[in-house]
Amino acid sequence: MSANVSNTTRRSVLRLALGATLAAPLVATGCSVLNGSDSKSSSGGNGSGPVEKSKITVGILSSQGSVGSKLAEKYGYYKNEGLEVTLKPFAQGPQAIPALINGELDFAVINYVSFFTAIANRSLDAKIVVDGDTANETSQLVIAKPDSGIRGPKDLVGKKVGIQASKSAAELLVRATLKDNDVDPNSVSYQPVTFPNIPAAIASGQLDAGVEVEPYLTTAQQKQGLVPVMKIVTGSTANIPNTGYIATTKFIEANPKTVAAFQRAMIPAQRDAADRSKVAQVLPDLSGVDAATATLLNIDTFPTSTNPTQLQRVITLLQNYGGMTAQLDAANLIVPTPQV
């Protein structure tokens, strides 16, 4: 009888101990679930833990290259990844570089010609985090008056052509197109006139023609009656990468989870940019055009990952027509897109 009581007591103690042992993981799991819920708000619930910096500032442009950021904001993709994002507009991408370097910005949209030039000059230590947009043959064109007599590359010889800025992507694309058509790239007078001011400069006779991008390409046809006269995103420059989101190497190394969260948020946003109706919803706020005009714009392509081979073409363009002597490898200047 005493032995039975003793055995019963031992079994009870074992049951209590086993119950406590099993309960401990359940309690810990319960805490983990709660913490995981909090973590989801700061890391997108992908199991990588909280981002290092949840409040970030992104420098954007009024161009199509920034469409993804507006879509990510509109559809909550940033929020889903635990990011509270402030979008700060800049008139030109290079203007955002000092703000990026001093930490005022965490990411910035910049055209690749300016980016690779800054890298080559060692005035910037940064990498590409997200590929913004790829130009197509209808979204960047040379425009002129209908009666200008300009119909193709040979007609630009001796003419004054607006190219946004000296050694800009616009100038390099014109030079490459002229070369492709056996026209001396130096036979044109390249005039640094900004995109918003090119249509009026052509209309007044200050320029014979000019490189234009959206939304100014469409509004120039509406307001000044200008017409496209030459494609520059064709042949050797077809589907040339246009802009990207960059971050300093210092920021990337200090905030890898934040960078990955930003990239993950941008993937569905870039995918949405293939839907013209969604792009039209954000273009008025981004570019200042009205809703009706937004539906008429020639839309770029918006990659969901970054292709080093394609980006190397911009470096080659700079080496061939921009005077770059630095031997850059685009693959070393990219933060790989995370798998989702």
Predicted confidence (pLDDT) at residue 38 exceeds the cutoff of 80: no
Residues 286 and 159 in one domain: no
Query: Does 211 reside within a domain?
Result: yes
Question: DSSP character for 86?
Answer: E
Residue 162, beta-bridge partner list: 191, 210
Residues 219 and 248 in one domain: no
Question: From the CB of residue 313, how many other CB atoms can be counted at a distance below 10 Å?
Answer: 18
Residues 174 and 308 in one domain: no
CA distance 108 to 175: 27
Query: Does 33 reside within a domain?
Result: no
Q: Counting every residue, how long is the chain?
A: 340
Among candidates 221, 273, 239, which has minimal Cα distance to 137?
Answer: 239
Query: Does 15 reside within a domain?
Result: no
Which of residues 237, 264, 291 is at a domain's end? Answer: 237
Residues 165 and 309 in one domain: no
pLDDT digits (tens, 9 = 90+) for 252-284: 999 999 999 999 999 999 999 999 999 999 999
CA 285, chain centre distance (Å): 17
Of 19-23, 234-238, 322-326, the range with the lowest mean pLDDT is 19-23
Query: Does 338 reside within a domain?
Result: no
| 265-268-273-279 Cα dihedral, nearest 10 degrees | -70
Residues 256 and 230 in one domain: no
Residues 149 and 282 in one domain: no
Residues 182 and 231 in one domain: yes
Q: What is the mean pLDDT of residues 301-308?
A: 94
Residues 248 and 319 in one domain: yes
CA distance 10 to 15: 9
Question: DSSP character for 79?
Answer: H
Compute the radius of gyration of the chain from its Cα atoms.
27
CA distance 276 to 288: 17
Q: Is 176 helix (H, G, I), strand (E, B) or coil?
A: helix
Query: Does 255 reside within a domain?
Result: yes
> What sign does the CA torsion over 116, 120, 126, 128 have?
positive
**Residue 46, pLDDT score:** 53
Residues 144 and 232 in one domain: yes
Query: Does 21 reside within a domain?
Result: no
Residue 213, beta-bridge partner list: 140
Decide: 115 and 126 in contact? Cβ < 8 Å: yes
Question: DSSP character for 27?
Answer: H
**Residue 72, pLDDT score:** 98
Return the ∠ at Cα 176 (arms to 174 and 178), rounded to 5°. 70
Query: 320: buried, middle or exposed (CB in 10 Å: 19+, 13-18, 0-12)?
Result: middle
What's the domain count of the chain?
2
CATH number of the CATH domain containing 214: 3.40.190.10
Confidence of residue 9 (pLDDT cuts 50, 70, 90): very low
Predicted confidence (pLDDT) at residue 39 exceeds the cutoff of 80: no
Residues 128 and 250 in one domain: yes
Note down the domain range covering 311. 55-135+240-333
Residues 225 and 82 in one domain: no
Q: Which phi and psi angles does 135 have, rounded to 5°? A: -70, 155
Which of residues 199, 219, 237 is at a domain's end? Answer: 237
Among candidates 139, 284, 296, which has minimal Cα distance to 212?
Answer: 139
Query: Does 295 reside within a domain?
Result: yes
Tokens of 98: 């000092």
103, amino acid identity? G
For residue 199, cis peptide bond before it (omega within 30 degrees of 0): no
Decide: 168 and 242 in contact? Cβ < 8 Å: no
Predicted confidence (pLDDT) at residue 306 exceeds the cutoff of 90: yes
Query: Does 24 reside within a domain?
Result: no
Mean pLDDT of the chain: 87
Question: From the CB of residue 113, how many other CB atoms can be counted at a distance below 10 Å?
Answer: 28
Confidence of residue 94 (pLDDT cuts 50, 70, 90): confident
Residues 151 and 194 in one domain: yes
Which of residues 211, 237, 263 is at a domain's end? Answer: 237
Q: What is the mean pLDDT of residues 138-155?
A: 96
